Amino acid sequence: MSESRSGPPKPSIGPTRPVTLLVTFVIAAIAAYVLVQRFYGDIAVPTLPLATFALLAVIEALTARSTRARIARKPGTEPIPPLTAARLIVLAKASSIAGALFCGLYAGAPSSTCCPPPAGSTSR
């Protein structure tokens, strides 16, 4: 006998698991390292995107703090509309994965500024 459910399945989204972020970071770092070593040898890694990502992370952290207070209906806060909460949840999920990806790319890209080539090796 099979159980029948009432209605269509309800969509759900859960927190991003740390393992997912770690795997994304490691794969991106390895891919960046291999591709840079294979095709470039040494590159100058720009710092402006790092500052931009850091600023976005701070803004999202402040938004998350405010959203948590609004969901908990703390005094002095307005309740958050459900659609706004859903959009913020999707933004947080996507941002965590994108953050792990870009951190992995930057960590894996060898640069002469942070990782000088070994003595006696030649750059292209």
| Residue of 1, 34, 15, 20 whose CA lies nearest to 97 | 20
- pLDDT of 123 strictly over 80: no
- pLDDT of 23 strictly over 90: yes
pLDDT at 1: 52
Q: Is 34 exposed, middle or buried (0-12, 13-18, 19+ CB in 10 A)?
A: exposed
Residues 47, 55 contacting (CB under 8 angstroms): no
Domain range list for the chain: 19-108
Where does the pLDDT of residue 122 fall: very low under 50, low under 70, confident under 90, or very high at 90 and above?
low
- For 69-112, write each residue's pLDDT tens digit: 998 889 988 999 999 999 999 999 999 999 999 999 988 887 65
- For 29-68, write each residue's pLDDT tens digit: 999 989 888 888 777 778 888 889 899 999 999 999 999 9
Q: How far is CA 71 from its chain centroid?
A: 23
Q: What is the mean pLDDT of residues 6-26?
A: 87
Q: What is the mean pLDDT of residues 108-122?
A: 62
What is the C-alpha separation between 53 and 59, in angstroms, rounded?
10
- pLDDT of 124 strictly over 90: no
pLDDT at 8: 79
